[in-house]
Amino acid sequence: MVVLPVAPALAAGAKAQPAAKQESSELAQLRFPRLRMPSVPRMPKVFAITPERRALLNTIRYAEGTWKEGADIGYRVMFGGSLMKTLNRHPDRVNYTSGYASAAAGAYQFMPATWRLAVRALDLVGFGPHAQDQAALYLIKKRGAMHLADRGELTPQLAAKLAPEWASFPTLRGYSYYGQPVVKYGRLKRFYEANLQKLRQMHPAVGLIDEPQEVEVAPEPCNDDSLECMLAKVSEGL
* pTM, to two decimals: 0.69
The pLDDT tens digits of the residues spanning 164-223 come to 999 999 999 999 999 999 999 999 999 999 999 999 999 766 555 555 443 343 445 566
Which segment of 80-84, 192-196, 226-230 scores lowest on mean pLDDT?
Answer: 226-230
3-state SS, one letter per residue, for 81-139? CCECCCCCCCCCCCEEECCEEECCECCCCECHHHHHHHHHHHCCCCCCHHHHHHHHHHH
The pLDDT tens digits of the residues spanning 36-55 come to 545 544 545 799 999 999 99
